[in-house]
Amino acid sequence: MARKVIHSATITLKLPLDTSVEEEEAALQAAGIPVDAIGNAASGFLFIRYTSDWKNPAKIFRWFATGVGHVAT
């Protein structure tokens, strides 16, 4: 039976919730995350979640260079 390999994100970035789309895209690119013209990951897998901190709300971007949960051989 093959087992799944889960790995840590290649790049993790935390941005304030009120960051504009243009600033968000520039920050992602500056961090090394390949995004296309509409902000989607051009390669790999980009997972976005929101923090539950109501005092300092933020978005956390986790980019995986390869697929998440690929099967080890």
Q: Could you say which DSSP state residue 70 is in?
A: P
Sequence-distant (≥ 6) Cβ neighbours of residue 27 within 8 angstroms: 13, 15, 19
**Pairwise CA distance, residues 20 & 3, whole Å:** 40
Does residue 68 carry a pLDDT above 90? no
Q: Could you say which DSSP state residue 48 is in?
A: E
Task: Dump the DSSP string for 10-35.
Answer: SEEEEEETT--HHHHHHHHHHHT--B
* Residue 72 pLDDT: 47
Task: Convert the pLDDT of each residue in 12-54 to its tens digit.
Answer: 999 999 999 999 999 999 999 999 878 788 888 899 999 998 8
The residue that leads in pLDDT, 50 or 6, is 50
* Residue 25 pLDDT: 92
* Residue 9 pLDDT: 83
Boundaries of every domain in the chain: 11-64
* Residue 40 pLDDT: 85
**Pairwise CA distance, residues 44 & 54, whole Å:** 30
